[in-house]
Amino acid sequence: MPVRARIDEKTDGIHMARALKASAAVMTILGASWSNPARADWRDDIGTFRAGIVADPGAGGTVPGLALLTDAYTKALGMKVEFVVARDYAALIEAQADARVDYAVYSAMAYATASERCDCVEPLVAPVDSDGAIGIRSVLLTRDGKVPDLAAMEGHRVAMAPPDSVGGSLLPLAGLAAEGVKVAENASFLTHASSAAAAETMLVDGEADAMFGWVPAVADGQPAVPGGTVARLEVAGLSKAALQVVWTSGLLRYGPHAVRSDLDPEAKRRLTVFLTNLKSMAPDVYDLLESKHSGGFAVAGPKDYAMAAAMVRFVSGNGR
């Protein structure tokens, strides 16, 4: 047998083994849930379960591993599943609002926009980082106590990341507005840096007395985890003792997997069982579904996206 043929045969065998392993893991996840008989006709009511997902940028409208994902969801629900690949979040939101998809994988703001659009969606689960972070919070950081509180901001130089920075610009402005503190994007005391890193440099070099940044957020009762702007400033040479957090925003949780509110409760239950066990039981499938946050999925609820909703209202002008 030619060497190339042997290599291809071995590669195909590896892929097949992974697929069979993932399929077996999905069956194991659902074994307990299938032991409880449910109403027999809920699958007939749905017909074909349609899951919506946004295409990867530059991928030509495709999603890697779509066949394996479809197989996993088919086994999870015990019915026919089709994935609908949307060109962007706007198209995905319209598809779910119009009941053309039952389930969608969203960013936080895309979910909040969908909820504002039709009030017909609800989150099931959201990803978690390996260190336990479930999202981010914006913070106002000062150096050596130069800005003691929010009321003192106007008398100091405050660095801010560019407007397209979620944690360093949009989240703090929307978070403050939600608390009744109106700060205009063009306020005289704000200095918009060319990047988040440039804003950090301004604080390190003494060109700003404070700056807006972000920190990882954990669930209530869990120990804080390092990272974000504070960690970057410490690496840049500022001591932890020199930094003070003047203000902290509400939680911006990582984007959820959301279903239509009118989806049958048994389908919601099976999806929740499947997704919350996916990382441990079928890591290959999990990695296809969630490439940014490696800690698995945890149950999420509408209240987790209050801050995302405030950001959507702020962008639309309703929260200013």
Q: Please report, for the chain, the start and end positions of each structural domain, with discontinuous segments joined by +.
A: 3-128+254-316, 133-250
188: left (phi over 0), alpha (psi -120 to 50) or beta: alpha
Stretch 48-75: mean pLDDT: 90
Q: What pLDDT is attached to residue 58?
A: 66
173 burial via Cβ count (<10 Å: 0-12, 13-18, 19+) = buried
For the chain, the first-to-last Cα distance in angstroms comes to: 70
List of E strands, the chain: 49-54, 81-86, 103-105, 121-127, 133-143, 158-160, 190-192, 210-218, 243-248, 252-253, 257-260, 297-299
pLDDT at 229 over 50: yes
Residue 273 to residues 43, 83, 104, Cα–Cα distance (Å): 17, 19, 17
On the question of a common fold for 3-128+254-316 and 133-250, the answer reads: yes
Instruction: Quickly state the pLDDT bin for 14 (edges 50, 70, 90).
Output: very low
Reported as a single tens digit per residue, the pLDDT across 24-59 is 554 544 444 444 444 558 999 999 999 999 998 766
The answer for 166, left when phi > 0, alpha when psi is -120 to 50, beta otherwise, is alpha
Question: Higher confidence at residue 20 or residue 43?
Answer: 43
The DSSP bridge partners found for residue 260 are 121
Angle at 63 between CA 62 and CA 67, to 5 degrees: 105
Q: Which fold has domain 133-250?
A: D-Maltodextrin-Binding Protein; domain 2 (3.40.190)
For residue 59, the model assigns a pLDDT of 63
For 3-128+254-316, CATH number? 3.40.190.10
What residues have CB less than 8 Å from 30, skipping those under 6 apart?
75, 76, 78, 270, 273, 274
DSSP 36: S
Q: What is the pTM of this model?
A: 0.85
Averaged pLDDT score across all residues of the chain: 88
- In this structure, are strands 121-127 and 257-260 parallel, antiparallel, or unpaired? antiparallel
Closest CA to 74 of 22, 15, 10: 22
